[in-house]
Structure 1
Amino acid sequence: MKSKLKIILLFIVGIISITAINVLRKDSAEHDKNKLIDNLISEDRQEQKQEPFANYLQKVSDDTNKKCPITINKYTRLDNTHILSGNTIQYNYTLVDFEKGEADIKLIEKEFTNTILNDVKTNPKLKILRDKNITITYYYKDKNGEFLYNFKVTPNMYK
């Protein structure tokens, strides 16, 4: 009788253990599923937060392009802007009195790099771009449309 009782008790303990393990597996799977759903919702919210700014950035580009070409000074003209991938806006300039063969590219790079970086860091009009960690690319060509210089300012450079 004692041995029959032990077998029954072991059988019951075994069933309870198997049931507990299955419940824990289900809870773990449910937890993982809920965590995945939470992550997807969080990513979706991030995209929704970025989407309006992406629209804003495109609007800024479109509005600027409606005014282009814009004479910046007697040497420089802003031709247009483009929104590139990776939260990047590109400003396309022409140096109206320079030809590639005549221009000292090294001097242009040296002078423009410091001037551009300082402008991105301090220009109040660019604050919204700095706040949103936008990369700003400055693309320069000569009066004949030949590429001269390209400078990319990343958030790491202006923060």
Structure 2
Amino acid sequence: MANKKLGITVTTAVIVGLITFFGIRYFLFNENLEEELQEAATQINLKTPMQLDEETTLDSAAVTGKRNFDYYYTLIYKSTEVNKDTAEKYIKPMLIERVKESSEMNSLKSKEVIFTYNYYGYDGEPAVSFAITPELYTN
């Protein structure tokens, strides 16, 4: 009977210990991630607006969720002139490769951040948006 109580006590202590360990790890991990994302956005925003090529300007970056990092671009085209199917076919694969190959993003990639690329027309209206998820950049 004493062994049974000791076994239950040890089992309960182990379970509570594991829950506490993973709970603390989860909350500390998320705080560190949010701080890291915010710092990355701040560093990018110090350099914006930045003309990337003759058609695209990087306007800003922002943290939009616990694991979401967004980039905002302006194109030289009116938002309605952007062909979403063509952009999906050509731009999205290029963005996926860029994320895969970027060693600067390794820390964020290891924490399964979702990178969203938001393109706006010169009229200020949304043209197209691509979410590059961990499933896309780890395969």
Q: Which has the higher contact order (CA 8 A, sep 6+)?
A: 2
Q: Which structure 2 segments of 5+ residues have no match?
A: none
Q: Which structure 1 segments of 5+ residues have no match?
A: 1-19
Number of residues of Structure 1 aligned to a counterpart in Structure 2 = 138
Give the structure with higher Rg (CA).
1
- Code of the residue aligned with 1:145 in structure 2: it is G
Pairwise CA distance, 1:67:
2.0
- Code of the residue aligned with 2:92 in structure 1: it is T
SS at match of 2:70: strand
Matched, 1:100 2:86: no
Question: TM-score, length-normalised on structure 2?
Answer: 0.84
- The percent identity for this pair of structures is 22
Pairwise CA distance, 1:33:
4.5
Question: TM-score, length-normalised on structure 1?
Answer: 0.75
Instruction: Compare the two structures and name the one with the higher helix fraction.
Output: 1
What is the Cα-based RMSD across aligned positions, in Å? 2.1
- Code of the residue aligned with 2:39 in structure 1: it is K
Q: Name the structure 2 match of 1:126.
A: 105
Which of 28, 32, 37 is 1:52 aligned to? 32
Matched, 1:76 2:18: no
- Code of the residue aligned with 2:23 in structure 1: it is E
Residues 91-124 of structure 1: CA deviation (Å, up to 9, x unaligned):
11111x1012333222122211111111111123
Matched, 1:144 2:123: yes
Contact in 1 for aligned 2:82/2:128 (Cα 8 Å): no
Q: Name the structure 2 match of 1:10.
A: none
Indicate how the Cα distance of structure 1 residues 33 and 65 shifts in structure 2: closer, same or farther if over 3 A, else same. Answer: same
